[in-house]
Amino acid sequence: MATRIAVIGGGIVGLATARALHGLVPDAEIVVFEKDSTVGTGQTGHNSGVVHSGIYYRPGTLKARLCVDGARRMRAYCEDRDLPRRTVGKVVVAVTEEELPGLEELGRRGAANGVEDVELLDREGLRRVEPAVRGIAALYLPGAMIVDFRMVCVAIARELDAAGVDVRVGAPVEFVQETADGVLVGLAEGTERFDVAVNCAGLYADRVAGSDPHGPRIVPFRGEYYALRPGAAARIAGMVYPVPDPRFPFLGVHLTPTIDGGVEAGPNAVLAFAREGYRRTDVDVHELWWTLSFPGFRRLAAEQWRSGLAELRRSFSAKAFAAELARLLPWVTPRDLRRTRSGVRAQAVGPDGALLDDFVVSERGMIVDVISAPSPAATAAFAIADHLAGMVTGRMTAIGGDDS
């Protein structure tokens, strides 16, 4: 009998993992369970679409390696299949002298991580690349690209389908549990047995993993975007990022061109009152209670209430958002901005209130739980997938279940 593998979550990590598993164990019966009626609807379908180059991450870390390798493969995947993409370039801009050491550190990290094609620009250099952006120095990555990660998901799902992998949409998984008889996946219509399972449920990954009172939990943070009105958008050539604040795992409000030729500003980061709380009015009492009752969240709130309030103010007021953006674009006014879409980030928070910015993967018997796959997980999906598929096949070999 063929080995049966369940992948929970039809986001970019789940789909890429199913693809990698099919490559490693072509005879296995693989089922991808996606709760929604189509793939790529979670974080993957609501992100900035940036293929990150790998300058942010500490050299030698898994995140750095997976990002650089993954970015190269993501670009190649989109080019080979002619998926929507644009090479728009990127500047990371220091506005003050105090930000220069942070900018130089990013340059060093990029070089150590093997990121090619990075240039350090002075004020004049920045003016040549982005005349409308204020700054005293910048790192310039002319080859930086944006893609449509949702379309990447659709493409992978089609390939999986053609290869005989069962991508089941409209199939919410209630639990995944190891038993003496194998791994049981709980569905509305009953349970299904598998030999091994990978939980890539994004915003719901901790719930699917079952509640470990000592483990991290997912706290949903909504990231809201504004669209620049056409006159303002025409003044921006490519991606424009601030030097990130090392205290937070977020990259700061930035400007990103979109595939259809617009420019978006955002995202901020405000607590969402539901895991899929894309609107400020979306509240799920049960999910909100799960967040508020978590000691890790209460510690985080006690420590970061000041920055939380500032984010909230920017969420409600275009004027406050424009004021933040004016650090980089001194000419911008609220009239240049139009509120547009939002995404929700699955932020892993430790029981001590720490914001975890690395990948969090845990194992329980024959189940691999991807508790947190934060940015740049969309960029790095193919590299993360190889890593996860290696873990899965490693477990199968350990029990002699690999029939390939």
Ligand X SMILES: Cc1cc2nc3c(=O)[nH]c(=O)nc-3n(C[C@H](O)[C@H](O)[C@H](O)COP(=O)(O)OP(=O)(O)OC[C@H]3O[C@@H](n4cnc5c(N)ncnc54)[C@H](O)[C@@H]3O)c2cc1C
Helix (H, G, I), strand (E, B) or coil at 209: helix
Instruction: Name the residue among 238, 36, 249, 269 with its Cα closest to residue 153.
Output: 36
Rounded CA-CA distance 187/85 in Å is: 37
- Identify which range of 116-124, 202-210, 288-296, 359-367 contacts ligand X by CB under 6 A: 202-210
Phi-psi region of 96 (alpha: psi -120 to 50; beta: other; left: phi over 0): beta
Sign of CA dihedral 115, 121, 125, 127: positive
Nearer to ligand X, 52 or 395 (CB): 52
Stretch that binds ligand X, among 30-38, 228-236, 348-356, 359-367 (CB under 6 A): 30-38
Burial class (CB in 10 A: 0-12, 13-18, 19+), 122: exposed
Region 157-186 residues binding ligand X, contact defined as CB under 6 A: 172-173
Closer to ligand X by CB, 8 or 137: give it: 8
The span from the CA of 21 to the CA of 29, in Å, is: 10
Q: Nearer Cβ to ligand X, position 50 or 121? A: 50
Q: Of 226, 251, 248, 284, whose CA–CA distance to 92 is shortest?
A: 251
- Near ligand X by CB under 6 A, which window of 46-54, 89-97, 112-120, 240-248? 46-54
Choose between 375 and 393: whose C-beta lies nearer to ligand X. Answer: 375
Which is nearest to 340 in space by CA: 221, 228, 195, 183? 228
Among 89, 249, 343, 401, binds ligand X (CB under 6 A): 343
Q: Phi and psi dihedrals of 137, rounded to 5?
A: -165, 160
Per CB under 6 A, the list member of 6, 10, 182, 325 interacting with ligand X is 10
- The secondary structure of residue 11, as a DSSP letter, is S
Does the protein bind ligand X through residue 202 (CB under 6 A)? Answer: yes
Contact in structure between 196 and 367 (CB atoms under 8 Å): yes
Closer of 11 and 110 to ligand X (Cβ): 11
358 forms part of the interface with ligand X (CB under 6 A): no
Smallest separation (angstroms) from ligand X to the CB of 188: 10
The residue within the footprint of ligand X, chosen from 22, 30, 34, 91 (CB under 6 A), is 34
Of residues 139, 155, 165, 201, which one binds ligand X by CB under 6 A? 201
- Count of residues that bind ligand X according to CB under 6 A: 41
Q: Give which of 212, 325, 310, 201 is closest to 263, Cα–Cα.
A: 325
Question: Closer to ligand X at the Cβ: 89 or 374?
Answer: 374
Length of the chain in terms of residues written? 404
Is residue 44 part of the contact set for ligand X (CB under 6 A)? Answer: yes
Apex 246 CA angle, 244 and 250, nearest 5: 55
Which range, of 58-66, 203-211, 291-299, 385-393, touches ligand X by CB under 6 A?
Answer: 203-211
DSSP for 341-385, written as a single string: EEEEEEEEE-TTSPEE-S-EEEEETTEEEEEE--TTTTTTHHHHH
Instruction: Using CB positions, name the residue nearest to ligand X.
Output: 11
Report if residue 48 touches ligand X, rule: CB under 6 A.
yes
Strand partners, 198: 7, 368
Of 150, 345, 387, 395, which lies in the binding site for ligand X, with binding defined by CB under 6 A? 345
Please identify, among the stretches 178-186, 212-220, 298-306, 377-385, the one whose residues bind ligand X according to the rule CB under 6 A.
377-385
Span of 118-126, 236-244, 298-306, 338-346 interacting with ligand X by CB under 6 A:
338-346
**Piece of 22-30, 111-119, 196-204, 284-292 that binds ligand X (CB under 6 A):** 196-204
Q: For the window 57-96, what string marks contact with ligand X as x by the rule CB under 6 A?
A: ----------------------------------------
DSSP line for 13-82: HHHHHHHHHHHH-TTSEEEEE-SSSSSS-SGGGGS--EE--S-SSPTTSHHHHHHHHHHHHHHHHHHHTT
Question: Binding residues for ligand X, per CB under 6 A?
Answer: 8-14, 33-36, 41-44, 46-50, 52, 172-173, 200-204, 208, 223, 267, 343-345, 373-379
